[in-house]
Chain A
Amino acid sequence: MASSARRRRAAAKAAVWASALTPAAWLIWRATHGELGANPIEEVLHRTGWWGLVLLTTTLAITPVRRLTGWHPILRYRRLAGLFAFFYLTLHFSTYLLLDQWLAWKYILEDIAERPFITVGFAAWLLLLTLAITSTRGWIRRLGVRWQRLHRLIYLVSALGVLHFYWNVKADTREPLIFAAVIGLLLLARLPAVQRAVSRARAGPALRAGRHVAER
């Protein structure tokens, strides 16, 4: 019994790893087959950034989904999702440093200092780096209650990430606005008032009927 549960958990974990790595594998396949189009560096920058945002959104979704569905095992994947977001965004930042800029520090520093969308993106990556480093069990123990407060920075990271995307596009803001809407909803879901409403809804018709009577 216990071993079958363990096996199921291992399979689920493998599935999570496989799906999180698929976009990277696909990108590598396209790169090695000359399928990245006329501007491959830009394509890699955009794709890694986009998947980074998707995984940030996924990370933010886990807690609300658990509350909504009561499916607690999903929590096990929150850290993993966050680390995969960090993985894609580190690829994104390295692509900028190495392939886009060829480590031309003069231009990189100018970009970070003077172009708000890059300033914001860089800040988000630095914060995410901090969260990735302190995501280990050891750090959770060491930081105690402060750990949770520190890791709420993921909200800020997501907001900065969307702003970075929004400021980067020329006119078609549809995609960054969709990200903004979804992330906004996931942050709203964390407000105590919303949480209370959700748990009331989850409590089911019986309770609602009871309250109905009580309100009279």
Chain B
Amino acid sequence: MGRVGGGCVRIHIHGSDEIRSSEITPERIYMNRRRFVGRAAKLAAAAAVSPSLLACGPSPGRSEELDDAGHQSGGVGPSGAGGRSGIQERDWSAVRSELDEPLTPYDDVTTYNNFYEFGTGKTDPARNAHTLRPRPWSIAVEGEVARPAVYDLEDFVSPHRLVDRVYRLRCVEAWSMVVPWRGFPLADLIRRVEPTGKARFVEFTTLHDPEQMPGQRRGVLDWPYVEGLRLDEAMHPLALLATGVYGRDLPNQNGAPLRLVVPWKYGFKSLKSIVRLRLTEEMPATAWAVAAPREYGFYANVNPEVNHPRWSQARERRLGQLRKRPTLMFNGYAEQVEQLYAGMDLSRSF
């Protein structure tokens, strides 16, 4: 793991004016400044925003990034607020991925979920997740960071500008979706909490509360659900901390109020309902790798050439389509992420 990059982090830090500002500005003032900047940007953009901008056509680079102007930087707010009006303004049917794939319908995205905290059936989470209370919510940032702290959700999210991104989601079970997430780059958060020189991994933890998550009363997995990324993976601009989907706040079954989205990895890496981030020197013991180490590794990069021991990963079924399609290397994000794994044997580090 020697290649894991403190170096990479430093590059990002030096490339970021914001983090330098925060280094010399007390946090409270810094966050207020960010909020002010966000509001200003919102006002400036308000005149320009129009639904037509949102139907992103094929264009070079990251065309999956929808126009996010006009969306508040002021946190997710109480349920709805900006979100609900957003869904009405936007013609989601015109939104497509950068490979020109249509979005998976909202109903499918929110009724077909793997979220074992609410049951192991695909429709269990939509049925059972009403017991989750996503407000109030707090998130602890611990470990190898300059300023460990416990944040209220609002304070955690509000310094960041929310963006809408359309990503493919490929489950390890060989089905996939195309989902318009709303969130902010994980890298921005990590810069904000200032990793120490020792930090090499980020460990994420889902809420552990059998009262709210009845599925945790059965030991299907070793609760709480833990996931992790190498720090350079976490700093990759595609990695997102999502607070919403389809322009709304995340429904409980999709991981309210805050979840990870790492589109080039199998879906189980993108854990839901996060309560803790810990920066560590050691590779975190992640839920599925603990449950079945022969079948699930730490990396879990989407890879059509490395089969699951029990089934093929060469093809996948896109929900809503009859025929299977070939699975793409790194779920179609190879161009953006393959350099993270240069020199690694991906059949061993699966």
A115 within 8 A of B: yes
**Chain A min CB distance to B243 (Å):** 23
- B window 187-241: CB within 8 A of A: 218, 220-221
A171 touches which of B123, B292, B324 (Cβ 8 Å)? B292
Contacts A37-B123, A41-B322 given; indicate if A171 touches B291 (C-beta within 8 A). yes
The reply on A172 being an interface residue by CB < 8 A is yes
- How many A-B pairs have beta carbons closer than 8 Å: the answer is 52
* Residue pair A110, B312 in contact (C-beta under 8 Å): yes
- What is the distance, in angstroms, from A79's C-beta to the closest C-beta of chain B? 34
Is B14 interfacial (CB-CB < 8 Å)? no
A residues 176-194 near B (Cβ < 8 Å) are: none
The reply to whether A38 and B112 contact each other, CB–CB distance below 8 Å, is yes
Which residues of chain B come closer than 8 Å to A170, judged between CB atoms? 173
Would you list which residues of chain B between 96 and 115 have a CB under 8 Å from chain A? Answer: 104, 107-108, 111-112
Number of residues of chain A lying within 8 A (CB) of chain B: 22
A116 within 8 A of B: yes
Residues on B close to A: CB < 8 A? 104, 107-108, 111-112, 116, 120, 122-123, 173, 175, 218, 220-221, 291-292, 310-312, 314-315, 317, 319-320, 322-324
Residues of A within 8 A of B323 (CB): 102
The minimal Cβ–Cβ distance linking A160 to chain B, given in whole angstroms, is: 16
Decide: B315 and A172 in contact? CB cutoff 8 A: no
Interface class of chain A by DSSP: helix
Q: Judging by beta carbons under 8 Å apart, are A172 and B317 in contact?
A: no
Contact B310 A117, beta carbon cutoff 8 Å? yes
Give every chain A residue within 8 A of B120 (Cβ-Cβ): 171-172
CA distance A39 to B218 in the complex (A): 26
Q: How far is the CB of B315 from chain A (nearest CB, A)?
A: 7
Residue-wise, chain A 56-99 has the 8 Å CB interface mask toward B (1 for contact) of: 00000000000000000000000000000000000000000001
- Contact of A39 with B317 at beta-carbon distance under 8 Å, contacts A171-B116, A171-B220, A172-B220 already known: yes
A123 to B292, CA, bound (A): 26
Task: Give the chain A neighbours of B107 by CB distance below 8 A.
Answer: 38
Contact yes or no, A171 B111, CB < 8 A: no
List residues of chain A with CB within 8 A of the CB of B123: 37
CA distance A99 to B322 in the complex (A): 7
30 residue pairs A–B, Cβ–Cβ below 8 Å: A37-B122, A38-B112, A38-B122, A38-B319, A38-B320, A39-B122, A39-B175, A39-B317, A41-B317, A41-B322, A42-B317, A101-B324, A102-B322, A102-B323, A102-B324, A104-B324, A107-B312, A107-B314, A115-B311, A116-B310, A117-B310, A168-B310, A170-B173, A171-B120, A171-B220, A171-B221, A171-B292, A172-B116, A172-B120, A172-B220
Distance of B133 from chain A, by nearest CB (Å) = 25
Q: Tell me, in angstroms, the Cα distance from A41 to B324 when the chains sit together.
A: 11
Q: Least Cβ distance of B152 to chain A in Å?
A: 33
Q: Is A147 on the interface with B (CB-CB < 8 A)?
A: no
Please report the C-alpha to C-alpha distance between residue A42 and residue B104 in the assembled complex, in whole angstroms. 17
Cα distance A117–B123 in the bound complex, in angstroms: 24
Minimum C-beta distance from A106 to chain B (A): 10
> Which of A41, A101, A167, A174 sits near B310, CB closer than 8 Å?
A167
Residues in A whose Cβ lies below 8 Å from that of B310: 115-117, 167-168
Q: Identify the A interface with B (CB < 8 A).
A: 37-39, 41-42, 99-102, 104, 107, 110-111, 115-117, 167-168, 170-172, 174
- B317 contact set on A, CB distance < 8 A: 39, 41-42
B175, B291, B292, B314: the one within 8 Å of A42 (CB): B175
Q: A111-B312, A171-B221 are in contact. Are A37 and B322 (CB under 8 A)?
A: no
**A171 — which chain B residues lie within 8 A by C-beta?**
116, 120, 220-221, 291-292
B108 touches A38 (CB 8 A): yes
CB distance from B15 to the nearest CB of A (A): 40
Complex Cα gap A193–B21 (Å): 82
- A167 and B309 CA atoms in complex are apart in Å by 11
Q: Which residues from chain B contact A174 at a C-beta distance below 8 Å? A: 218
Contact present for B111 and A38 (CB under 8 Å): yes
User: In the docked arrangement, what's the CA distance between A41 and B319, Å?
Assistant: 10
- Inter-chain contacts of B108 with A (CB < 8 A): 38
Q: Which chain A residue lies CB-closest to B323?
A: A102
Q: Pick from B292, B310, B319 the residue with the most CB of A within 10 Å.
A: B310
Q: Please pick, from A39, A99, A104, A115, the residue contacting B112 in the complex, using a CB distance under 8 A.
A: A39
Residues on A with C-beta less than 8 A from B291 are 171
Q: Is the CB of A37 within 8 A of B111?
A: yes
Contact of B315 among A42, A107, A168 (CB under 8 A): A107
Which residues of the partner chain A approach B324 to less than 8 Å between Cβ atoms? 100-102, 104
Residue of chain A at shortest CB distance from B268 = A170
Chain A residues within 8 Å of B218, by CB: 174
Give, as a whole number of angstroms, the nearest-CB distance from B175 to chain A: 6
